Amino acid sequence: MAGFAAVGRRYITDPGVNWGCGSQFVDFIGNGKLLNGNLNLALSKRRSFEAFEKAGLPYPRWSNNFAELRKQIGPDRDILHRVDGQHGGSGIDIIRAGTNPVTLTPQERSFFVERLSYQREARVHVWCDEIIATQVKLLEPGNGNPIHSFDVGNASFTTKLEGRLEPALATKAGELARAAVKALGLDFGAVDLMLTKRSKLYVLEVNTAPGIRSKSIEDAYSYGLGRLKKERK
């Protein structure tokens, strides 16, 4: 595709946009603004949750202290032990209900998150406050790994949220996604949301490397870039 160059599974573009690849590519479109120039909040799950709280968005309960979170959510819920700054399903251990994390090695960046009941996970791609694509996560049948991730290899995304969520929930997911990108001070991002068994939506994270792995998602970001170029001429 014109304007994109593959970097592993991620992409950069000329004029440059920070696609979360660890380096920033200066955006020379018009006024020279760097898209997603500050990833500090988005790259930390803890700081993201704090920003979501300030913005009034629903997100999983969490704590730096296991006992504190266990007290909040009760003894019958699983808890995720996470290492901040990890991605792709890495740095996560599950603490089952009724157990204590005595076998886990304490780490400076450890924190604890409630494990939400799973009905459906969605991804909403937001570009400059516009929803350019939606996806639904599909789980591989028969895979018993409770961590559902593309990188782990037991999950993939299909295009279009519509038809897989009730219209009101799909609309709400879009609203939450746009608000989440704004809360983290980003220009664009792929927002992961969880729909629980009680049909409540939670914001999980905003991916700054949006996962351009299909032609439809590639086309969506090409559209966003093309529109931006026209606006800045």
The pLDDT of residue 146 is 57
What mean pLDDT, rounded, does the chain reach? 80
Whether residue 219 has pLDDT greater than 80: yes
Contact 185, 161 (CB under 8 A): no
CB burial readout 69-91, b (16+ within 10 A) else e: bbeebeeebbbbbbebeeeebeb
pLDDT in tens, 156-199: 677 677 777 888 999 999 999 999 999 999 999 999 999 999 99
The pLDDT of residue 188 is 94
pLDDT in tens, 153-163: 455 677 677 77
- In this prediction the pTM is 0.84
**Confidence band, pLDDT 50/70/90 cuts, at residue 233:** low
The pLDDT of residue 31 is 54
pLDDT in tens, 5-29: 444 444 445 446 787 765 445 445 5
Where are the chain's structural domains? 4-56+117-231, 61-115
pLDDT in tens, 40-84: 899 999 999 999 999 999 999 999 989 899 999 999 999 999 989
- Cis preceding linkage at 15, omega within 30: yes
The pLDDT of residue 6 is 43
From the list 173, 187, 190, the residue with the least C-alpha distance to 227 is 187
Q: Looking at domain 4-56+117-231, which of 3.40.50.2300, 3.30.420.40, 3.30.470.20, 3.40.50.720 is its CATH number? A: 3.30.470.20
